[in-house]
Structure 1
Amino acid sequence: MAVRRRDTRPVLLLTGALLLALGLAVAGWAAGTTVLVTLVRMLVLVAGILAAIAGLGRVARGVRGKPVDVVFWLGMTWLVLILGAAALAPLLPLGNADDSVAGLTSPIFAAPGGIGAEHPLGTNNYGLDVLARAVFGARTSILVALMAVLIGTTVGGLVGMVSGFVRGTTDRIVGILSNALLAVPPLILLIALGTVLDPSIRSIAFALSLLTIPSMVRLARANTITVAEREFVLAARALGAGRVRLLLREVLPNVVLPVLSLAVVMISVLVVAEASLSFLGIGIEQPAPTWGNMIAEGQGGVMEDHPYIVVVPGICLFLTVFSFNLLGEKAQKRWDPRAAKL
């Protein structure tokens, strides 16, 4: 069996390398050609990327001798890159991202010039650099989502724990309030709050946190009810431990991990929600960049003539949401066995 495994490694490496090279060649050709219409180019580009990923998986399996989740690790690599770029954005040598007055001296709708050019991914209708706006847009979009998840996880988790531990009237009131929030369509709720609150990062994060609180309350409550009936909690209660000590010392360590796994998934949901608000014009206002208002710049026929205006933030949004979903799925499988079985 060991001999057969060693024999298959060269085959995996060879076929994987060929498939990887072919996929990259097809994707590169599709990205640069002008022969095909846009839709066909996108389909060929996606096919090339999928072939390259399949080839990379074969190469990794041939090197390690066992299957490797290449898609997951590519997603984590993207998250490290985009989070690092967002955190270090003010220090990076980027172009003009939000100064529309300074943008008057730059060409509008400049085509992407590639690596080394003054505007590697082109400019928009204000002469602002698309690459710089994509990086600073990531800084805004991800920061809003992280702040909203932090607020929602803290408030929802604590309320759910207290509700599930105390039960009685408190539990009924919390259940009514959480069900009331869940009954309101999320987009309608966000639009209503967006018209009342000022379009700042803090206000948008507060509005988006309301989407996470009911789910966090339900998850924390369900886990608390289960943990509260465990033997070690009953033993601590019999020894005279108070409610606060039981919640903090016995219940919280067993509830926090499932809640955190849901929080990772909610980050991707809130990144999309923030982009939706900005796209509708009730989120972060221009010229401050977010992925949502960058995509909105493609309206009015702009995308047909300058597709990179929408493609760049669209790809960033897709890859970030997809990567956070992969991370959240792994976290749920490890930290929340009940969710992993669904």
Structure 2
Amino acid sequence: MRDPVTPLPEIGHSEVTASTEDIRSPWRDFLQSFFRHPVAIVSTLFILLLILVAVLAPWIAPYDPQVPDWMALGAGPSAEHWFGTDDLGRDVLSRIIFGARISLYVGLLSVTLGMVLGVLLGLLAGYYGKWLDMLIMRGSDVLFAFPGVMLAIAVVAILGPGLNNVIIAVAVFSVPVFARIVRASTLSIKQSAYIEAVRCVGAPDRVVLLRHILPGTLSNVIVYFTMRIGTSILTAASLSFIGLGPEPDVPEWGNILAMSRNMMMAGKWNVSVFPGLAIFLTVLAFNLLGDALRDTLDPKLQK
């Protein structure tokens, strides 16, 4: 005689809800781990505030950055001009606010260009190897032989001064590091069993590289991308300070520092301190954000 079929236990709504709540998304886990770092919160808020200031610059700047106040030439901080004015009577605070636009634009665009080219070269070098790997890596070694600022100066000296050429120069010295980071990750990932399985089913190299290898390299790329933005802003300001950046009247942080050299000798500290402080805090915030991302995304550093 057949045994009666045992009915399945009924699952209550509360049990389904509890099991659903136990499912954790990677994005939620990342945010919880990331915001455990107080430094990450402070740096993220500062960068978001800086982006907001750059976007709203025409509406929040108290004065036009190019219009001088002839009654306050080289004035110190006051109720009318919080950060004072330069030797031409232009409001320093307004120029710093508008300079945030240019500095973020240069930093983000130059690092993005360097990242795209570097990631592509790193994928090709790590995946195909042989002569292509040797050619790309030896080219990277040549670029590594020059300090970053010196390489940027050489590129701008060849192309000529200007904002677009500064972006190209900063992008060039970002390429080799991205290429090395992605190459190292690609060499490790392409030996994995699932990559061999994808090859066995006949997937083309383009699919293997873009859909299966590239995602495994993104954590390291994101960390370095974030930290490189601060370095790029500092390099662009250095090029502007020595006269290889945009036109002197452009309200860029390096230009503001360059224009303040004569005033520093006269004891006008405000024209140099405030833009220098803006550069310092911005670079520090991006570096601290990169450190927090590294601690969050690197499983070896997880506690």
User: What TM-score, normalized to structure 1?
Assistant: 0.74
Q: Distance in 2 between matches of 1:128 and 1:308?
A: 13
Partner of 1:74: 42
Kept in 2: contact 1:272–1:321 (CA 8 A): yes
Partner of 1:288: 250
Pair 1:129–1:301, CA change in 2 (3 A)? closer
**Percent identical residues:** 32
Alignment deviations for residues 89-116 of structure 1 (CA, whole Å, 9 cap, x no partner):
123343121x2xx416352112211xxx
Unaligned runs of 5+ in 1: 1-66
**1:144 deviation in Å?**
0.4
Match 2:68 to one of 92, 103, 110: 103
Partner of 1:45: none
Alignment deviations for residues 4-48 of structure 1 (CA, whole Å, 9 cap, x no partner):
xxxxxxxxxxxxxxxxxxxxxxxxxxxxxxxxxxxxxxxxxxxxx
Q: Which has the higher helix share?
A: 1
Name which structure has the greater RCO, CA cutoff 8 Å, separation 6+: 2
Residue 144 (structure 1) aligned with residue 106 (structure 2): yes
Kept in 2: contact 1:303–1:310 (CA 8 A): no
Partner of 1:23: none
Q: Distance in 2 between matches of 1:94 and 1:132?
A: 6
Match 1:88 to one of 56, 73, 82: 56
**1:125 deviation in Å?**
0.6
Partner of 2:17: none
Partner of 2:218: 256
Residue 195 (structure 1) aligned with residue 163 (structure 2): no
Alignment deviations for residues 231-277 of structure 1 (CA, whole Å, 9 cap, x no partner):
11111111111111101111111112211211101011111111111
Residue 239 (structure 1) aligned with residue 207 (structure 2): no
Letter in 2 for 1:233: I
Local SS of the residue matching 2:262: coil
Partner of 2:91: 129
Kept in 2: contact 1:106–1:128 (CA 8 A): no
Residue 162 (structure 1) aligned with residue 124 (structure 2): yes
Partner of 2:228: 266
Alignment deviations for residues 158-216 of structure 1 (CA, whole Å, 9 cap, x no partner):
11011100111110100111111111232222222222324332221111001110000
Letter in 2 for 1:127: G
Kept in 2: contact 1:72–1:326 (CA 8 A): yes
Q: Distance in 2 between matches of 1:233 and 1:176?
A: 27
Pair 1:295–1:108, CA change in 2 (3 A)? same
Partner of 2:8: none
Pair 1:72–1:287, CA change in 2 (3 A)? same
Letter in 2 for 1:142: L
Partner of 1:33: none
Partner of 2:138: 176
**1:337 deviation in Å?**
4.3
Alignment deviations for residues 123-152 of structure 1 (CA, whole Å, 9 cap, x no partner):
101111100111111111111011111001
Kept in 1: contact 2:166–2:245 (CA 8 A): yes
User: What TM-score, normalized to structure 2?
Assistant: 0.83
Pair 1:93–1:187, CA change in 2 (3 A)? closer
Match 1:212 to one of 155, 174, 187: 174
Match 2:77 to one of 83, 105, 112: 112
Kept in 1: contact 2:160–2:244 (CA 8 A): no
Query: What count of residue pairs does the alignment treat as equivalent?
Result: 268
Unaligned runs of 5+ in 2: 1-34
Letter in 2 for 1:220: V
